[in-house]
Amino acid sequence: MDFLQILILSLVQALTEFLPVSSSAHLVLASEMFGWKYQGLSFDLALHFGTLIAILAYFRRDIAELVRETLAWRPGSPLNPTQRLALGITLATIPAGLAGLLLGDAGALVLRHPVVIAVNLIVFGALLWLAERWSQRAGSALAADEAGAGESLGRLSLGRAVLIGCAQTLALIPGTSRSGATMTAGMFLGLDRSQAARYSFLLSTPIMVLATAYGAWEARNEPLAGLEEMALGTLLSAVAGWFVIRFLLGVIRRIGTLPFVAYRVLLGVVVLGWYFLAR
């Protein structure tokens, strides 16, 4: 791969891993549109490792607190909000972990079709928009009902956490978006848009660790040619990913999800037009 291809794929991974627009779809579409051959599992793993570094760096205090409070818990003692959040994230990770192990890459490869990606971009974009509207209408009643000023992440019920985790399994379908699916589920289940975005990021950490470990195992027999390319891809996706997280949280807090919804729908229409007109 030349530098331009590494740069573009690294930035695509960083820009779309955390935004609710589907990173897998964009990586597939980038290669399709530029006419590039598949870059290989090892390079994909390097890009994902870079974005994992970004999220660990950005949420280092939150993650450290979750680990510290989890280790401080003793059998028989009640869970504090941080410990409940850690347990909820753990339980929510199980559905996607099992689905990933059962399906592997086979399901995603079968569904890597431009029409499937385009339809999912549009459909799940519309669901994200509906979820935010639902959250805005139902949020005040939920806040008064369950948490006074608002339901904190530490007070999210374990049942709702598992449901958000089930939504995360949809990310195996290209065009869906892991963050988009978890944010949509979170808002439908009572979180406001800022809480849903933050929970989505925290929930992504264990699944990204598992996915990276699984990818490393799968790539164990693959020749590690192009170590410099992999290192560069990791560095670029990590640095860009950190800024993307900061950007997303700011946009969600101030504006909401509408810019991402509009982008998803527009991209879906463009992909459909490109596919059928190019035939």
Percent of the chain's residues with pLDDT above 70: 84
Domain that holds residue 179: 3-278
User: What's the distance, CA 203 to chain centroid?
Assistant: 9
Give the integer Cα–Cα distance in Å for 92 and 86: 10
Return the SS3 of 220: coil
Reply yes or no on whether the pLDDT at 149 is more than 60. no
User: Could you give the number of structural domains in the chain?
Assistant: 1
Number of helices (H), then strands (E), in the chain: 12, 0
pTM of the model: 0.82
- 22 falls in which pLDDT band (50, 70, 90)? low
Residue 276 DSSP class: H
Which pLDDT belongs to residue 141? 39
Distance of CA 93 to the CA centre of its chain: 12
DSSP assignment of 73-133 equals --TTSPPPHHHHHHHHHHHHHHHHHHHHHHHTTHHHHHT--HHHHHHHHHHHHHHHHHHHH
Whole-angstrom Cα distance, residue 279 to residue 271? 12
What pLDDT shows up at residue 10?
A: 86
Secondary element (H or E) of residue 161: helix 158-168
Q: How many CB atoms are closer than 10 A to CB 258?
A: 12
Mutual angle of helices 41-58 and 3-17, in 10-degree steps: 50
Gap between the Cα atoms of 249 and 19, Å rounded? 10
Q: What is the pLDDT of residue 214?
A: 76
